[in-house]
Amino acid sequence: MSSQPQAQGLPTAAAPASRRAAVIINPTKKTDVDIRALVDEACREEGWAAPLWLETEQEDPGRGMARQALQEGVDVVIAAGGDGTVRCVAAELAGTDTPLGLLPLGTGNLLARNLDVPVDDPAGAIRTALTGTERRIDVVHVKVDEAVDSDIFLVMAGLGYDAVMMGDTNTALKDRVGWLAYVDAGIRNLPGKPVRTMISIDGGTPIQRRLRSVMGGNCGKIVGGLEVFPGARIDDGLLDIMTMAPKGGLGWLNVVAGLLRRGKGRGTAVEYFQCRSAEIWADVEQDFEMDGDHLGTASHISMRVDPQALRIRMPYGKKDPAILTNPEP
């Protein structure tokens, strides 16, 4: 039986290209499971190509790796680490069409908690990163002490007491008991003097306070189920500002009461503001942190919301007006 000759010079249909993920992993984060094996297996089962693996370095905690992943044209970039790794990767993905996936390996994992990404189920987090619902969220640009270049945060940034607490957390204790180590640092640093601080909301006339801490928030939840910025939404184009001003012997009790009242009341121990931008000046340099990373000291910071600048993967089933269409199969 003769075979039909093939037509010459005609293009053949190319096989559809497999989607590919880049995984930017912090190698210092120790886990009880083989993360690489889990990701490789999930990619195979979902019909994705073998992932691109990139490790962070002490000198570069993720930004250069994220730029490389974008140059490779991957379909999703998965940040495998703590909130610091997530923040650095997101800084490069913001404003692009490449989504961010989260594989929480840190202590706080604050962004993952706010988006209901599994923090104790690596396999579930990987599946979410590959095939979850896509959503746009805000990022907040920050300039410190008149720096030329800005940085970003996704959850919160703080000047004062909260940053001191982050910087003074015992690393060995954190490895043993997790986020409870922050409680230890918080208690040890309760003593201290308020600092004269000025805050301008949306370019308005600065208000003056004597504060232990001023924080900017993009979303509300932190570890332990505590909601520091009640009602804050990660996609509303607004920045939430919270101040803490303990006074006298019962000062911190008044702060706790203010947090429980969610800022409602006549006292100034805790105050909340909402805005699109804020500028903060302190008379004395204060410790500064973003998304849980202690970043030194500062006396002047400015914050500006970039609405829905980052595409991110999150679990199915969360009702939200900012949910985008599902990723193409």
Beta strands, E only, the chain: 21-25, 52-55, 76-81, 100-104, 133-144, 151-153, 156-160, 195-201, 207-211, 213-217, 239-244, 270-275, 277-290, 293-314
Q: Is the pLDDT of residue 118 over 50?
A: yes
Angstrom distance (rounded) from CA 176 to CA 168: 16
Contact 125, 313 (CB under 8 A): no
What's the average model confidence in pLDDT over 208-226? 86
pLDDT, residue 327, reads 46
pLDDT digits over 182-197, tens only? 777 778 888 888 999 9
pLDDT, residue 251, reads 80
Grade residue 9 by pLDDT with cuts at 50, 70 and 90: very low
Q: Is the pLDDT of residue 205 over 50?
A: yes
Name every residue whose Cβ is closer than 8 Å to that of residue 32 and which is 6 or more positions away in sequence. Answer: none
For 255, the enclosing helix (H) or strand (E) is helix 251-260
Contact 181, 170 (CB under 8 A): yes
pLDDT digits over 136-195, tens only? 999 999 999 876 567 999 999 999 998 998 888 777 776 676 667 777 777 888 888 899
pLDDT, residue 322, reads 47
Angstrom distance (rounded) from CA 300 to CA 147: 10
Residue 81's SS3 state is strand
pLDDT digits over 223-251, tens only? 666 778 888 899 999 999 999 988 876 78
> Which range, of 27-36, 100-109, 233-242, 313-322, averages the lowest pLDDT?
313-322
Grade residue 284 by pLDDT with cuts at 50, 70 and 90: very high
Q: Is the pLDDT of residue 323 over 50?
A: no
Question: Helices 35-45 and 122-131: crossing angle, nearest 10°?
Answer: 40
As a whole-number percent, the residues of the chain with pLDDT over 90 amount to 64
Q: What percentage of the chain's residues is helix, strand, coil (to nearest 5)?
A: 25, 35, 40
pLDDT, residue 15, reads 37
pLDDT, residue 8, reads 39
- Give the Cβ contact number of residue 151 at 10 Å: 17
What's the average model confidence in pLDDT over 34-47? 96
Angstrom distance (rounded) from CA 323 to CA 135: 4
pLDDT, residue 32, reads 87
Average pLDDT over the chain reads 86
Name every residue whose Cβ is closer than 8 Å to that of residue 288 and which is 6 or more positions away in sequence. Answer: 144, 157, 158, 159, 163, 294, 295, 296, 297, 298, 301
DSSP assignment, residue 299? Answer: E
Q: Is the pLDDT of residue 329 over 50?
A: no
DSSP assignment, residue 221? Answer: B
Angstrom distance (rounded) from CA 134 to CA 100: 9
Contact 24, 66 (CB under 8 A): yes
Angstrom distance (rounded) from CA 42 to CA 282: 49
